[in-house]
């Protein structure tokens, strides 16, 4: 499969996440809901890693890679905790678009940190996506 098929699968799964999480956090504290979700992901990810024999690469990991993966995990945790709290407080149809403004932040960080080039098409498309997300703030 190509990268964009995986990206599309990710987008479809993320959309299901918003709806399922909104239903799930209805009568559950948001931090507890995040903890439960994280346990499921932990088991799921390790199961796949073992099934594909990727766990053997643990021996060869460099400290730098581990550091950045840990930092990524912290960022994911903050994101999930805030996302679930937002879902408890507002409709999923308004929370999810604002959460997706992360696209603009990702593109900016990719340019500054990774020196990736931003074409005018990517810039314009991102601006439209941010504008669309902002339009959802007021029904």
Nearest-angstrom CA–CA distance, 14 and 4: 15
> Do residues 113 and 70 share a domain?
no
Q: 75 and 108: one domain?
A: no
Residue 130's nearest CA partner among 106, 114, 112, 110 is 106
Query: Structurally, how many domains does the chain consist of?
Result: 2
| Domain shared by 29 and 82, yes or no | yes
Q: What is the pTM of this model?
A: 0.84
| 137 falls within a domain | yes
11 and 65 in a single domain? The answer is yes
Structural domain containing residue 86: 3-90
The pLDDT of residue 111: 95
CA distance 139 to 133: 12
Tokens 């960022």 found at: 75
Instruction: Let me know if residue 95 belongs to a domain.
Output: no
pLDDT digits 0-9 by tens, 90-109: 999 999 999 999 999 999 99
> What pLDDT shows up at residue 138?
77
Structural domain includes residue 36: yes
CA 136 vs CA 92, 94, 122, 132: distances in Å: 11, 6, 21, 7
The SS3 of residue 28 is coil
Q: Is residue 49 part of a domain?
A: yes
User: Do residue 79 and residue 105 come from a single domain?
Assistant: no
Pure H helices in the chain: 3-24, 30-51, 63-89, 92-99, 102-113, 120-135
135 is a domain residue:
yes
Per residue of the chain (139 residues), give pLDDT as tens.
Answer: 899 999 999 989 988 988 999 999 999 999 999 999 999 999 999 999 999 999 999 999 999 999 999 999 999 999 999 999 999 999 999 999 999 999 999 999 999 999 999 999 999 999 999 999 999 887 6
Are residues 74 and 7 both part of a single domain? yes
Q: Looking at residue 65, what is its pLDDT?
A: 96
Same domain, 52 and 113: no
């Amino acid at each position: 499969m190509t990268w964009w098929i995986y990206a599309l699968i990710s987008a479809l799964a993320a959309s299901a996440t918003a709806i399922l999480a909104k239903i799930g956090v209805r009568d559950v504290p948001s931090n507890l809901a995040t903890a439960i979700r994280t346990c499921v992901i932990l088991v799921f990810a390790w199961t796949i890693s073992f099934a594909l024999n990727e766990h053997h690469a643990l021996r060869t990991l460099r400290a730098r890679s581990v550091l950045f993966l840990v930092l990524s995990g912290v960022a994911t945790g903050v994101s999930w905790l805030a996302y679930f709290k937002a879902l408890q407080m507002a409709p999923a149809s308004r929370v999810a678009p604002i959460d997706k403004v992360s696209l603009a932040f990702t593109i900016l960080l990719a340019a500054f940190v990774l020196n990736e080039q931003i074409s005018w098409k990517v810039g314009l498309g991102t601006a439209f996506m941010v504008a669309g997300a902002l339009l959802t703030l007021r029904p």
